[in-house]
Amino acid sequence: MPYKIAVLPGDGIGPEVVAEALKVLKAVGAPSEFEHALVGGSAYDATGNPLPPATLELCRQADAVLLGAVGGPKWDRLEPVELRPEVGALLPLRAELNLYANVRPAHTFHALVNASPLKGKNGLIDLVVMRELTGGIYFGKPRERREGGTQAVDTCVYSRFEIERIAHRGFEIARQRRSKMVSVDKANVLETSRLWRETVTALGTDYPDVELSHMLVDNCAMQLVRDPRQFDVILTENMFGDILSDEAAVITGSLGLLPSASLSDARDGRVFGLYEPIHGSAPDIAGQGKANPLAAILSAAMMMRFSFGDAQSADRIERAVERALNDGLRTADIAGHGPTISTTQMGDAVAARLS
Ligand code: NAD
């Protein structure tokens, strides 16, 4: 059975980087059917809705979703805020598709070790942030509100069920890596964090082969800069994960190289997921052939691994990316003062290095 992939290129550099990811998926021989749909500002312009019902329905029918990026100055001030691409498309996509487990690897490539702001003094970083994506303070009810203009309220809620399902995912991913997981919370202050720690600790007895420890979020933020190599899998809640995953990304030194997966439960034996680069729509370089497509290409590799259980194709794509970088090929964002190639040339280079 071919895999049915919903392709949502989105705005800005989204279509440019997604085209290269599709090129590589086709070259790797993935038995896939691709169906395109509008999302974000381009969907708003065409239909008045950043997440048209047809797009949501296509995603529901698909085995996996490949997304570029959404947003841009043209749509960032739309009112009501639900019309803006991130609020009106990304958040409802996550909620509607039940994408509760966000997996963000932060990995430095040999060839780019000096691009890290830590200047390679910590060697190669290879960790994964597992962020809970559909609960916590971004979704808690009663929703955020102002009280009398001088006071504001947000609500953080977590249930044992929500913590257990993301923790299971974290333990499973740790098992496929170096079997170490640090669960990050603020248990010295927050009740939701105490429930988080209690729940993860209890579940840990089902995974005796995974070394579990706990860390407070403020300490984790510091340790990521001090000694990122101590981490294998970092498991954490929505808001802490939002911040820590960006911190982990920046210490690798290259926004254009980092992929992500947002996973739901398995359907018919396949894990449903949405795959996207972590960067945004980069309006400053859109349409100029300057975007680095490697994050989108590596997101496609994650799709092969997680949704289609095809670790071999995923490894082939990741090795081809490594080879292109080792051969000195660079888009402008990672070239320093050296020679650069275009978005499509980088896609071609990766496709040509698949072995
Ligand atoms: P951004 O990630 O789009 O860009 C930040 C900087 O990194 C820019 O200088 C950009 O040129 C560069 N950059 C990003 N990706 C690159 C790539 N692949 N190759 C080369 N350079 C790259 O973040 P921003 O500027 O804060 O946001 C721009 C728009 O994107 C906003 O509308 C924002 O809301 C949206 N956004 C969307 C997502 C998403 O779709 N998931 C994520 C973040 C931001």
From the CA of 187, how far away is ligand 1's center (Å)?
Answer: 33
Supply the pLDDT for residue 2: 87
Written out in words, the top-level CATH class of the domain with range 1-108+254-355 is alpha beta
pLDDT value at position 64? 96
Q: Which CATH superfamily is domain 117-126+135-251 in?
A: Isopropylmalate Dehydrogenase (3.40.718.10)
Cis peptide before 339 (omega within 30 of 0): no
For 32-57, what is the mean pLDDT? 97
pLDDT tens by residue, 273-287: 999 999 999 999 999
Residue 107 CB neighbours (<10 A): 17
- Is residue 76 part of the annotated active site? The answer reads no
Which residues lie below 8 Å from residue 172, measured CB to CB, with a gap of 6+? none
User: Which distant-in-sequence residues (6+ apart) come within 8 Å of 139 by Cβ?
Assistant: 95, 157, 238
What is the Cα–Cα distance from 240 to 275, expressed in whole angstroms?
Answer: 21
Residue given tokens 């955020």 in the structure block:
144
Sign of CA dihedral 41, 42, 44, 49: negative
Q: Matching CATH topology for 1-108+254-355 and 117-126+135-251?
A: yes
**Mind listing the pLDDT tens digit for each residue in 208-263?**
999 999 999 999 999 999 999 999 999 999 999 999 999 998 888 777 899 999 99
CA dihedral 112, 114, 116, 119 (to 10 degrees): 160
Any known ligand binding at 94? Answer: yes
SS3 244: helix
Q: ∠ at Cα 311 (306, 314), nearest 5°? A: 85
Q: Exposed (0-12), middle (13-18) or buried (19+): which is 350, by Cβ within 10 Å?
A: buried
Query: How big is the chain by its Cα radius of gyration, in Å?
Result: 20
Structure tokens at 266: 């398995």
Look at residue 29 and give its three-state secondary structure.
Answer: coil
Pocket residue to mutate for ligand 1, from 281, 284, 297, 299, most atoms within 8 A of Cβ: 281
292 labeled binding residue:
yes
Distance 210 CA to ligand 1 centre (A): 35
Judge whether 138 counts as a catalytic residue: yes
pLDDT above 70 for 121: no
The pLDDT tens digits of the residues spanning 287-333 come to 999 999 999 999 999 999 999 999 999 999 999 999 999 999 999 99
Compute how many other C-beta atoms are within 10 angstroms of the C-beta atom of residue 89: 31
Catalytic residue among 45, 206, 218, 315: 218
Q: With bands split at pLDDT 50, 70 and 90, how would you rate the model's confidence at 116? A: confident
In order, the DSSP letters of 114-152 are GGSTTTTTT---EEEEEEE-SSGGGT-SSPPEEETTTEE
Cα–Cα distance measured from residue 264 to residue 162, given in angstroms and rounded to the nearest whole number: 12
- Nearest-angstrom CA–CA distance, 178 and 126: 10
Q: What pLDDT digit, counting tens, does each position of 131-174 carry?
A: 999 999 988 888 777 878 899 999 999 999 999 999 999 999 99
| Angstrom distance (rounded) from CA 109 to CA 255 | 13
Three-state SS string over 9-20 comes to EECCCHHHHHHH
Q: Is the pLDDT of residue 115 over 90?
A: no
SS3 content of the chain, % helix, strand, coil (to 5): 45, 20, 35
Ligand 1 within 6 A of CB of 285: yes
Cβ partners under 8 Å of residue 338, min gap 6: 328, 330
Q: Which residues lie closer than 8 Å to 20 by C-beta, 6 or more apart?
A: 293, 296, 297, 343, 344, 346, 347, 350
Question: What residue ranges do the domains of the chain occupy?
Answer: 1-108+254-355, 117-126+135-251
**Ramachandran category for residue 268: left, alpha or beta (phi over 0 → left; psi -120 to 50 → alpha):** left
d(CA 345, CA 341): 6
